[in-house]
Structure formats: structure tokens, C-alpha cells
Amino acid sequence: MSISKLIMDKKESISLVGLGYVGMPIAVAFSKKVNVIGFDLNEDKINTYKQGIDPTNEVGDEAIRNCKVEFTSDESRLKDAKFHIVAVPTPINLDKTPNLAPVEGASKIIGRNLTKGSVVVYESTVYPGVTEDICIPILEEESGLKCGIDFKVGYSPERINPGDKVHTLEKIIKIVSGIDEETVEEVAKVYELVIDAGVYKASSIKVAEAAKVVENSQRDINIAFMNELAMVFDNMGIDTNEVVDAMNTKWNALKFYPGLVGGHCIGVDPYYFIYEAERLGYHSQIILSGRKINDSMGSFVADAIIKQLIHADKIVKKSNVVVLGATFKENCPDIRNSKVIDIINSLQEYGVNPIVSDPYVNEAEMRHEYNINLVNFEEIKDADCIVFAVAHDQFRNLDWTQIKNMFRDGENENKIIIDVKSIFNRTEVEEQGFTLWRL
């Protein structure tokens, strides 16, 4: 009997290795249909899930409380699963090279607990070749088993968009691949249990690996183009968003906007492609240039803030600059590779110590990761400049009285709003008497 049939009949289990923003929603989704073991090395995270708390806000506390996932930090429990899904992060090092330590570590853990007849599917974003050239040898060495004979391997890139309640796991087409046709079919049948949108069968593991890196690199390049325009238009005294709105009246406009590009995917994945291309002797032209532009946007916004303070006759070092939002995107608590931090760091270089507030972010995590103390939103007052860095719904829904109460007393024309995410209508802001700068 096939693995997929055994899983559907609940005679075998699925394991999820890595229970973060990607792995946990997958585990919860599968647990509605089959037996699931959710494994993570972080015991605190496991205990949080056992208490019915979803720190990621991806599925919500109620879904965690009611799900049937067996959460564990005991790796030996993986021996009770026959289908393993690896969803650990794949970050980059300080020198922008791939950091494969998490996926290598996960491979060692699975290898130590791998049994004959198992299937291992990697979802972590990697450059083409990692699954077959790095992960499979680790699995074989740790298990003493032979890939293709004793166990099979597949690759199915994660496509979850953190904080997105529209394009959820079930609604996104799943790319699947495997070392042979039999594996592809088995992997497809398992994912079809939870993916309503269906699956796409890639011709090889390398094609599937490349597809994930390329789809994020494409977005990165398009946003970089808009960011470059924004920098030029700023010097021209032209509002970038007004240009984009006009351009978007054409049917084939791509509707990209300038912005900060961080997070664990778009701000990272292109470096995986660049690394492998350079290893093969090709120096990236477009992708690397796009990354350089997007990595510079935090400093560009910070410089704009300083200029606006000077134009308003503010003493820069004595100005109270409030930064609203610290996550890499709206309506999620994820602070990994947030480019808002670049704005904060650049302001500190000018002697400005900004007041940072984000209702979505765990205060202890923010201190640990970035040595930044968050301020409760309700305590903000006497601001000279407010930077709307992230478009959380809570910030979008503020009325003008609430915004005015955060500023220092005085004439509104000396009060600066920096609108990184184009939350506000320019005319409305100016009618309120504020000075507006937006990306």
C-alpha cells in the first residue's frame, strides 16, 4: 500500500520539522485530515503551542487549541512518522551568503530517526541543487539508508505569505517534485489533502527549487525599480505614488509600489540565486543591483526624515521621532530581516533615538533581536515627527484627533508625517496642516 494511502487511512503519520510561520500552519491544516507530529527544537515554542497560543497570528489561538497536532521537542517521536516535511528557515549570513545550518541540522535530526519506506519533503527555500547535493547525503549518512531504495525525497517550496488572510495555504497552488515519478505522485497526493487550489508537478527537484527563488527575485527586482524611481522623483519634487496611480491606468501596468523589502523571503531568496550563479562563474547583473537598491531604502528614508526635520526648523538631536511599526510587513508579528530596523539604525547615527511602537511585536523578542525597547502606543506624546513605517490596520484606522494627540503642542505645519507605506491621502494630510513626506 502506498504511503499516501496509509496516511489517509491514519495508519501512518506526517511529521512537520520546524514550527514557525510556515511549518505550524501546514501542521494545523494536515491535522484536520491525518495524524500529525509537530516537531521543533525550541521547547518554549512547543510549550506555547501546547497552551493553545499562536505567537505568529497565522491561524489564531482557537485553531491551535482545537487542532490535533502532537507538538513535541523530542526528536525520537519522528520515528513514528513516515512522511516528513521540513519547514525550517534558510537565512543568510552577514556576508549575504546562504546559511544552510538550519536545513542541514534538520536533515541530521530526520536522518537519525528515519525508517525504511519514508518520504522526506523539503519546503525550505534553497538554491537549485541543495536538496540533492547536500540534504540527501546527510540523510543517508545519519540513517545508514540509501535514497531511492530505502527512502524517497521530494521538494515542495513553501509559498505562505505571513499575515495574508486571503492567499492562505489552501488557496495557493503547490509546486511538488521528487527524485522519481513515483515520489512526485505520492507527494502530490499527500498535499492534495489540504491544498484546494491543486498542485503543479515540476519536472525535477532543481526546477522546483529554482521556481521558488525566481518568483521572489522577480518581485524584488520590480520593487527595486519602483524604489529607484522614488529616489529620483524625490529629487525632482514629484510624488511617486501620483506617478504610479497615473501609470496604473494602463491595462498592462504591473502595479508595483516603492517600499521596504525585508522579511524571510523576498529580502533573502535572491541572495541564494546570486550565490549559486557566482559559484558557477556568472556575476549577477540585474538581481544583485535590485538587492543593493532595496537594501539601501532604510537609509534613504532616514535621510528624508532628517531633511524634513531641518526644513521644519527642528533641532535634529532634540527631536522626538516616533516610528510606528517594526515588523517586515503589515498585520503580522514577524520582525525577521525587517528593514524598519535600518531606518532606526540610520537615525541613531544622526543622534536621534526614535520612539518605537508596534502592537504586534513581542517586546522581549524585539529587545533580544535588535536591542530596541518598544513603547506602548497609548503612551506616545510630544512627537515632532511620526514615521508610519508599517501599514498595520491599527495605524490605518487612526483618526486625526488620535494622530494630533501624539504630537507636541504647536502649529501643525511644524509637525511631520513620514508615510513610508502611502497610508494617507496627500490632500487630506495637508488640509490638516501637517507636513507630509512619503516614499
Q: Known catalytic residues?
A: 265
**How far is the C-alpha of 324 from the C-alpha of 383, rounded, in Å?**
12
Q: How far is CA 84 from CA 19, 28, 31, in A?
A: 13, 15, 14
Is 19:40 a contact under the CB 8 Å cutoff? yes
CB 153 within 8 A of CB 147: yes
For residues 355 and 352, give the distance between their C-alpha atoms in angstroms, rounded to a whole number. Answer: 9
Look at the block and give the residue holding cell 519514508.
118
Contact call for residues 234 and 304 (beta carbons, < 8 A) = yes
Tell me which residue of 89, 168, 164, 160 sits closest to 330, measured CA to CA: 164
The residue whose grid cell reads 544583485 is: 288
CA distance 170 to 92: 28
Q: Which residues of 90-123 are buried (b: 16+ CB within 10 A; e: fewer)?
A: bbbeeeeebbbebbeebbbbbbebbeeebbbbbb
**∠88-85-215 over CA atoms, to 5°?**
65
Q: How far is CA 357 from CA 321, 326, 344, in A?
A: 11, 7, 12
Strand pairing report for 355-357 and 321-324:
parallel
Residue type, 232: V
